[in-house]
Structure 1
Amino acid sequence: MIPEQEGPATPGAADKFDDEHYPGYTMGRAADMLGTTQGFLRSLDEAGLITPQRSPGGHRRYSRHQLRLAARVRELVDQGTAIDAACRIVTLEDQLHEAQRLNQSRRLDTVD
């Protein structure tokens, strides 16, 4: 017999895998996935682009959404854009994407 899990972690635990904002990646894993250094990720934190959550032990944890932003900054930096400018560009792109998503959602709501 398999023991039942207790507590709030059981209901909806699988949903965390689909949540793009769930901080499921350690700094080391995030850096490996992006092909960059941990120092690069720290610089994005210092620039205010991404604020990773912290584990109970104080280690940075990144979400898929944050990794997408970091990958875009990396792309711009590799093309010669200064990191501060790249962070600003990515922030504006992210805000534009969110506004477009909200507008699309509103359009769908008015059609119903």
Structure 2
Amino acid sequence: MGAESLDDEDTPALTTGQAAEFLGVRPAFLRSLDAGRMVRPERSAGGHRRWTRRQLAHAWRIRELFDEGLTLTAAAMIVSLQDEVALVTRERDQAHDELERARRELARARRDLAAVRGEQTAHPAPSVRAHRVCGPEVPTTALRPPLPTPPPQRNSRT
């Protein structure tokens, strides 16, 4: 483990004694968190607990609630729920930001489409069919088939 890994919140660097001293608690407190599966430290090759900074922050939050009179289980549950709420809030905020970006993009595309449609109305393009068959000068009405002529009417008197 290099010195740069000490900056990582998830590096299991502290023994139970060091972690307890850092938090100002007895090692038994940390062991009870592990035994209750509230905070699960990694184990060294020799089987000793190794705590990360993230786990110590979690343990600290539990300790604060425990000191206010909650049981360890209740304190751990509250901290866990607070973390879930924070995660859902972040996800909601990200989704809201993505939705706003999509709405702006859609509005921009609609404006672009309206501008293109406006140009087509102002300067109608010649009919492709008229252009291919007769050239661009021939109006499209010249391409309509002639109306059928009605058959001559027979005079019933003749």
- State TM-score, norm by structure 1: 0.76
Higher mean displacement: 83-92 or 95-104: 95-104
Distance (Å, rounded) in 1 between the aligned partners of 2:9 and 2:93: 19
- Secondary structure of 2:78's counterpart equals helix
- Does 1:22 pair with 2:11? yes
> Which of 62, 81, 84 is residue 70 of structure 2 equivalent to?
81
Residue 48 of structure 2 corresponds to which residue in structure 1? Answer: 59
Residue 6 of structure 1 corresponds to which residue in structure 2? Answer: none
Residue 41 of structure 1 corresponds to which residue in structure 2? Answer: 30
Distance (Å, rounded) in 1 between the aligned partners of 2:58 and 2:82: 9
| 1:54 counterpart letter in structure 2 | R
Distance (Å, rounded) in 1 between the aligned partners of 2:42 and 2:7: 18
Unaligned ranges ≥5, structure 2: 102-158
Distance (Å, rounded) in 2 between the aligned partners of 1:61 and 1:107: 39
1:23-65 deviation digits (Å, cap 9, x = unpaired): 1111111000111011100111122111100011111001111
How many aligned positions are there? 101
- Superposition deviation, residue 17 in structure 1: 2.7
Greater RCO, CA 8 A, separation 6+: 1
- State TM-score, norm by structure 2: 0.56
Residue 21 of structure 2 corresponds to which residue in structure 1? Answer: 32
Percentage of pairs with the same residue:
42
Kindly name which structure, 1 or 2, has the bigger radius of gyration based on alpha carbons: 2
- Secondary structure of 2:74's counterpart equals helix
Aligned CA RMSD, in angstroms, stands at 2.3
